[in-house]
Amino acid sequence: MTNDYVLEARRLVKRFGDFEAVRGIDLSIERGESFGFLGPNGAGKTSTMRMISAVSQPTEGTITIFGLDPSTHGPEIRQRLGIVPQEDSLELELSVRLNLEMFGRYFDLPRRVVRERATELLEFTQLSERANEKVDNLSGGMKRRLTIARGLINRPEILILDEPTTGLDPQARHLLWDRLYRLKREGVTLIITTHYMDEAEQLCDRLVVMDRGTIVAEGAPRSLIDRYSTREVVELRFASDNHEAFHDRLAPFAERLEILPDRVLLYVHEGDATLREIHASGITPSSALVRRSSLEDVFLHLTGRSLSD
């Protein structure tokens, strides 16, 4: 191989009947990179993930993973992948440890190796104390960690995580992020989908923003923000529900304006200064907040919709 791409995809399309979930996307992911797919529900993230997991076949286009074609070398490729699906898909009736050990057998790992790794991974995901408990009794965050541990049982070169922290409380998310950082330091390539901005900003070296089956932007989180947004954002709320009415009065204060159902966003260079000018002009919002631009703003700018839609 001439480059160090572990995964390359060209003109990838996935259709289900008449519905086109993925509409011709290109991807190149380097070894050791932490790569993200950001987009709202229904953007085509999961369909893309299933194709790059060598599980589902693209309707059109080509993929190579480790330089191999998934349509002819699926088992060989998946032997080297770790996949953490959106649903945990654990055996609820069995113990935490058995979930790992039984899964390890799918990879043809000798029993002794599986046992050792299960012990290590339980330690790594802080589940050692629950090793002999039924999975059914675990909290959502613990189940998620176990699913990640399961995805690591074959020491994968690429770990693919679909919405790893959806539905978890902040503490559980931070613990999970910490584990993912460690894996990245150990050289594991991470591929993550998320609809959380902060998650993408925290975890990804590079990401693509997906919307309606296509990639609308690509780059490092910070460079996307620099390219598609201003440095700061002023968020204003008004007592009146009719935020549109404020458009003309607020437009002169900002480079760009977004009117959302519950608030108005002003894209500006210097938030505090703008806010002072607004107050001085006699406009009185019921609340005001100055913050730094985030990927949410990038998404809003690119698609005209917020991610939580």
Partner 1 sequence: MTPTTHATQRQPRWLRSWWYHAAFYAQTWRGSVASSILFPILYLASLGVGVGHLVTAHTGLVEGQTYLHFIAPSLLATTTMQLGEGESLWPVLASVKWIRTYHAAAATPLEPDDILFGKLAWVATRAFVTSIIYTIIVGCFGALTSWWSLTLPLIGVLITLAFSAPLVAYAAAAQSDASFTTLYRFAFVPMFLFSATFYPVSAYPGYLRPVVQFFPLYHGVALVRAAAYGRGSLAIQLAHVAVLVGLAVTGVLWGRRTMRRRLTD
Q: Segment near partner 1 (CB under 8 A), from 34-42, 97-105, 210-218, 277-285?
A: 97-105
Token pair in block for residue 297: 């703003």
DSSP-assigned letter for residue 247: H
Of 53 and 230, which has the nearer Cβ to partner 1? 53
Among 18, 72, 75, 286, binds partner 1 (CB under 8 A): 75
Of residues 2, 16, 112, 170, which one binds partner 1 by CB under 8 A?
16
Nearer to partner 1 among residue 144 and residue 150 (C-beta): 150
Residues in region 106-165 near partner 1 by CB under 8 A: 106-108, 110, 150, 154
Size of the site for partner 1 (CB under 8 A): 34
- For partner 1, the closer of residues 81 and 275 by Cβ is 81
Torsional class of 66: left (φ above 0), alpha (ψ -120 to 50), beta (otherwise):
left
Tokens of 259: 């009117």
Closest CA to 98 of 135, 140, 126, 129: 135
Selected binder of partner 1 within 28, 64, 79, 126 (CB under 8 A): 79
Contact between 67 and partner 1 (CB under 8 A)? yes
Q: Does 167 bind partner 1 (CB under 8 A)?
A: no
Q: Does 8 interact with partner 1 (rule: CB under 8 A)?
A: no
User: Using CA atoms, how far apart are residues 255 and 175, in angstroms rounded to an integer?
Assistant: 38
Question: What's phi and psi for 228, nearest 5 deg?
Answer: -110, 0
Q: What are the structure tokens assigned to 105, written together?
A: 């057998």
Q: Which of 13, 94, 259, 273 binds partner 1 (CB under 8 A)?
A: 94
- Residue 53, strand partner residues: none
Q: Is 53 a binder of partner 1 (CB under 8 A)?
A: yes
Q: Which is nearer to partner 1, 26 or 136 (CB)?
A: 136
Cα angle 294-296-297, degrees, rounded to a multiple of 5: 75
Residue 224 contacts residue 293 (beta carbons within 8 Å): no
Applying CB under 8 A, among 5, 35, 37, 103 the residue interacting with partner 1 is 103
Closest approach, Cβ 53 to partner 1, in A, equals: 6
Which amino acid appears at position 166 of this protein? T
Which residue's CB is nearer to partner 1, number 76 or number 116? 76
Radius of gyration of the chain (CA): 22
Among 78, 97, 130, 143, binds partner 1 (CB under 8 A): 78
Tell me the C-alpha distance between 211 and 41, whole Å.
9
Q: Interface with partner 1 includes 98 (CB under 8 A)?
A: yes
With b for 16 or more beta-carbon neighbours within 10 A and e for fewer, the 59-97 pattern comes to eebebbbbeeebeebbeebbbbbbbbbbebebeeeebbb
Question: If binding is defined by CB under 8 A, does position 83 make contact with partner 1?
Answer: yes
Binding site for partner 1 (CB under 8 A): 16, 53, 55-57, 66-67, 73-76, 78-81, 83, 85, 87, 89-94, 98, 102-103, 105-108, 110, 150, 154
